[in-house]
Amino acid sequence: MSEHFGAKSTTDDVLAGVDLSGKRVLVTGVSAGLGVETARVLAAHGAHVVGAARDLAKAKGATEVVRAAAAKGGSLELIALDLADLSSVRACADALVADGRSFDLVIANAGVMAPPFGKTADGFETQFGTNHLGHFVLINRIASLLKPGARVVSLASSGHRFSDVNLEDPNFETTEYTPFGAYGRSKTANILFAVEFDRRHKDRGVRAVAVHPGGIQTELARHLDPAFLQGWIDDLAAQAAAKGEAPMEWKTIPQGAATSVWAGVVAPIETVGGLYCEDCHLAPPVEDAAEVRFGVRAYALDPANAQALWALSERMVGEAF
C-alpha cells in the first residue's frame, strides 16, 4: 500500500504523476493552512475544486496561490459555509444540490480546536457542533452528488485519544467542560462518522475514510496558550525519550495535507475504507493510554458506537438521513 509514502511525504510527493483532469472536489476550510494546500495541489493536478469557507473575503486572498497553481484545466470556485450555523450549512448544501454537478471527492477539512466553552448558532457545544454536526449535515445533504467511486475524507486527529464521544451529554450540560476533552469528543466523532457513512454507502461505490494530518503549526492552534502548547510538546518529547523513540517533529503544511490527499486519491480504498489513517498509512490499533502520538483507539472505530452517534446526530439536527 504505497509503502514509500510516510510522515515526511508532501502533497506533491503523493500526487506525483497523477492526473485529476475532469475530477470535481469539495474542500471545506480553504481560508488558511491545510485547506489551502489541499486545494492547491488538487487544482495543480487538474481538479476542479469547490472551496468552502466561512469568510469568503479571507478565502479569496488565501487561495490566490490555488488559482496560480491550477493546471491541466484545474480551477477553483468558492462557496460560503459556516459550519457553526446549520442555516449556513443547509444553504451551502442546497446550492450545491441545485447546481447538480457531481463530486468525486469531499475533504471535510475545516474545524476548530480547544476554544473556551461556547455554543454554535444552534446551541451545540462549539467543537462538537462545528467539527462534527456541521459536516454531518453538509455531507449527508449532498450525498446524492457523490458518484460511484467517490470518496469522503474526514479530518480527525490523534486528539481523538483524549476522549470517546459522550452520547448522554454531547453539549457538556452535566459534565465539566475541558477544551481538549471536547476536542477529543469531536475528533472521535469525525472518525465514527466516516465509519458509519462508509457502511451506509459502500454498496453503491461511495467510501469514507478518516485521517490524522499530524502535528502542524497552523491557525487551528490560535486558542492555545503558547506556554501550554510548549508544555505539551515537552511531555511528548519525554514520552518518546522514555521509549527510545525520536521526538515529535512539526510537519510542514504540505506534509500535513499529504495524508488527506493520499487517502482521497491514492490509497487502495478497499484497504482504508471505514478506517483511520496517519502518515500516509493505515493507523494501527492502540490501547495504551499513555500513547498519544500514534494509532487509533478501538472506540473510534466501533460500528455500534458509530451507529449510536449517527442516531444521536440526526436527533440533534432534526433531520434523518
Question: What is the per-residue pLDDT for 1?
Answer: 43
Q: Which fold has domain 11-315?
A: Rossmann fold (3.40.50)
Question: What is the per-residue pLDDT for 226?
Answer: 65
| Burial category of 2 from C-beta neighbours within 10 Å (exposed 0-12, middle 13-18, buried 19 and up) | middle
183 is catalytic: yes
Name the residue with higher pLDDT: 318 or 241: 318
Question: What is the per-residue pLDDT for 2?
Answer: 44
What is the Cα Rg of the chain in Å? Answer: 18
Residues in the chain: 321
Q: CA-to-CA distance for 213 and 37, rounded, in angstroms? A: 12
Residue 50 in contact with residue 86, Cβ under 8 Å? no
pLDDT band at 249 (very low <50, low <70, confident <90, very high): confident
Is the per-residue pLDDT at 3 higher than 70?
Answer: no
pLDDT digits (tens, 9 = 90+) for 209-245: 999 998 886 555 555 566 655 665 666 566 666 767 6
Task: Kindly list the distances between the CA atom of residue 189 and the CA atoms of 184, 215, 249, 293, in Å, as whole numbers in the listed order.
Answer: 8, 19, 26, 19
| Burial category of 86 from C-beta neighbours within 10 Å (exposed 0-12, middle 13-18, buried 19 and up) | buried
Q: Where are the domains of the chain?
A: 11-315
Number of H helices and number of E strands within the chain? 13, 8
Q: For all residues of the chain together, what is the average pLDDT?
A: 92
